[in-house]
Amino acid sequence: MAEAMSSRRPASDVLVVGAGPAGLAAAYRAAESRLRVVVVDDNPDAGGQIWRGEQREPRSREAQEWFHRIRRAEIELIAGARVYQQIEPGTLLAETSHGDVLELGFENLILATGARERFLPFPGWTLPNVMGAGGLQALVKNGLPVDGKKIVVAGSGPLLLAVASYLRAHGAEVLLIAEQAAALRLARFGIGLARHGGKTSQVFALRRELKGVQYLTDCWVVAAHGDEKLERVTLRRAGKRWEVSCDYLACGFHLVPNLELAELLGCEVAGGAVSVDEFQQTTVPQVYSAGESTGIGGLELSLVEGEIAGLAAAGKLEDARRLFPQRAKQRRFADLLNRTFALRDELKTLAAPETIVCRCEDVVFDRLRAHSSWRTAKLQTRCGMGPCQGRICGSAVEFLFDWKAESVRPPILPVRVESLSHKKAQESQTRTNLRSEI
């Protein structure tokens, strides 16, 4: 078998995985100490999800400031490369979009792998044009025109407001926003926000941009209908059900951290987030984590965590310490946020027996219900065994059945056969498999 083109790069002092706000802030602070800093990201451009497309279509002044800083600093960005394996402590493998394999050596590693949306299965959720809220926004940021399109935004979390506002600014007709959280909780959230001055003004700005769009609390989509693609949705609120015709449903239930790489490296994960100490260091020495991977907290928390991780990786502990109060404040906001948008139990009854839960393998709810753990369900039904490796159904079955994630094995993403047959990759797979069989 032909071996993939492979190149070994000089080891970096600090390798950052993820070029979203946390990763960029970490890279910038580490580079200030004149360290050799490399950032690797699977997207074609830096910015992560929240700053996706900012370089083509600037919207946020804060994003522009960070990009400006990064451009001036001595930082190497490797875009379009997916980290899929660790071949030995201190060396990761990444596959580029051209199929080449990069060996990325490092002294210190900062995991800023971000978050993804939580999806919950309901009848019709697999129809084309039913997308994540952030999912549809990402497509629009990547060039999809939505002018004149009728869109229902649904699910949970502050992202819904940001997405609705963004879609509207791009000419879409946002029919309504359905937020599953209760009005009472949101009212408390509003009071809590008052303690975070900057956040209140953000909310008021969004409210202004969304003037005239219905924001329904205690409301969710119970079904999507259509033949070959979405045609309409059924909504439910206070026991009442009604149908709305639309072109797109943008539906996501808040966010969950991306943990696969941290788990692969043996970092402790607790409560669905990477465990870190006060300097953002994980339980594995010289491996740090910052941003949404350590718990969902939004942009400002990601930035300050990234700065702390970057400073700590550069040995500037006192400088890092000076940022602790700022982080503590943002963490209080994050706690408030996550309490507010906690999912209601009624959502567990959304899936019908024949509703697909695992979209890769088309495993329906009824087949999963009989199992007591994800492990047995995987073995018997192939749930979570497809190309997404449980990234979509994992957070759903956790909510629906209280199943915990299974241990992660390399490669953490499907890669080309050539990348798997990369000599060092094979050796380390053999080692890993042997270990797990012992």
Span from 136-144, 169-177, 181-189, 192-200 in contact with another protein (CB under 8 A): 136-144
Q: Which residue, 23 or 134, is less far from another protein as judged by CB?
A: 134
Tell which one of 18, 47, 123, 135 touches another protein (CB under 8 A).
135
- The yes or no reply on residue 5 touching another protein (CB under 8 A) is no
Site for another protein in 83-102 (CB under 8 A): 97
Residue 184 burial (CB < 10 Å; 0-12/13-18/19+)?
exposed
Q: How far is the CB of 36 from another protein (least distance, A)?
A: 27
Span from 62-70, 139-147, 190-198, 325-333 in contact with another protein (CB under 8 A): 139-147
- The yes or no reply on residue 76 touching another protein (CB under 8 A) is no
Tell me the C-alpha distance between 70 and 211, whole Å: 36
DSSP 235: E
Span from 166-174, 184-192, 306-314, 357-365 in contact with another protein (CB under 8 A): 357-365
Tell me the C-alpha distance between 16 and 161, whole Å: 30
- The yes or no reply on residue 116 touching another protein (CB under 8 A) is yes
- Reference 213, options 245, 166, 143; nearest CA is 166
Q: Which residue, 227 or 437, is less far from another protein as judged by CB?
A: 227
- The yes or no reply on residue 171 touching another protein (CB under 8 A) is no
Phi, psi of 209 (to 5 degrees): -65, -25
Span from 88-96, 168-176, 347-355, 384-392 in contact with another protein (CB under 8 A): 384-392
Q: Which residue, 97 or 349, is less far from another protein as judged by CB?
A: 97
- The yes or no reply on residue 58 touching another protein (CB under 8 A) is no
Tell which one of 17, 39, 109, 131 touches another protein (CB under 8 A).
131
- The yes or no reply on residue 156 touching another protein (CB under 8 A) is no
- The yes or no reply on residue 295 touching another protein (CB under 8 A) is no
For residue 82, list its beta bridge partners.
95
Largest CA distance in the chain: 63
- The yes or no reply on residue 158 touching another protein (CB under 8 A) is no
Span from 4-12, 127-135, 264-272, 430-438 in contact with another protein (CB under 8 A): 127-135
Strands 101-111 and 91-96: antiparallel
Span from 87-95, 112-120, 333-341, 419-427 in contact with another protein (CB under 8 A): 112-120
Tell me the C-alpha distance between 430 and 176, whole Å: 52
Q: Are 149 and 172 in contact (CB under 8 A)?
A: yes
- Reference 254, options 310, 337, 333, 312; nearest CA is 337
Q: How many CA atoms lie within 13 A of 419 on its CB side?
A: 25
Span from 21-29, 113-121, 187-195, 304-312 in contact with another protein (CB under 8 A): 113-121
The three-state (H, E, C) secondary structure of 254-317, written as one string = CEEECCHHHHHCCCCEECCEECCCCCCECCCCCEEECHHHHCCCCHHHHHHHHHHHHHHHCCCH
- The yes or no reply on residue 126 touching another protein (CB under 8 A) is yes
Q: Is the sign of the CA dihedral 14, 17, 19, 24 positive or negative? A: negative
Site for another protein in 205-244 (CB under 8 A): 228-229
Dig out the tokens for 389 from the structure. Answer: 């490796």
Q: Are 93 and 83 in contact (CB under 8 A)?
A: yes
> Could you tell me where the DSSP H helices lie in 73-215?
133-141, 159-169, 183-193, 197-209
Q: How far is the CB of 45 from another protein (least distance, A)?
A: 8
- The yes or no reply on residue 42 touching another protein (CB under 8 A) is yes
- The yes or no reply on residue 272 touching another protein (CB under 8 A) is no
Dig out the tokens for 70 from the structure. Answer: 């990064």
- The yes or no reply on residue 380 touching another protein (CB under 8 A) is no
Q: Which residues make up the interface to another protein (CB under 8 A)?
A: 42-44, 49, 56, 80, 82, 97, 116-117, 119, 126-132, 134-139, 142-145, 228-229, 356, 359-362, 386-388, 391-392, 414
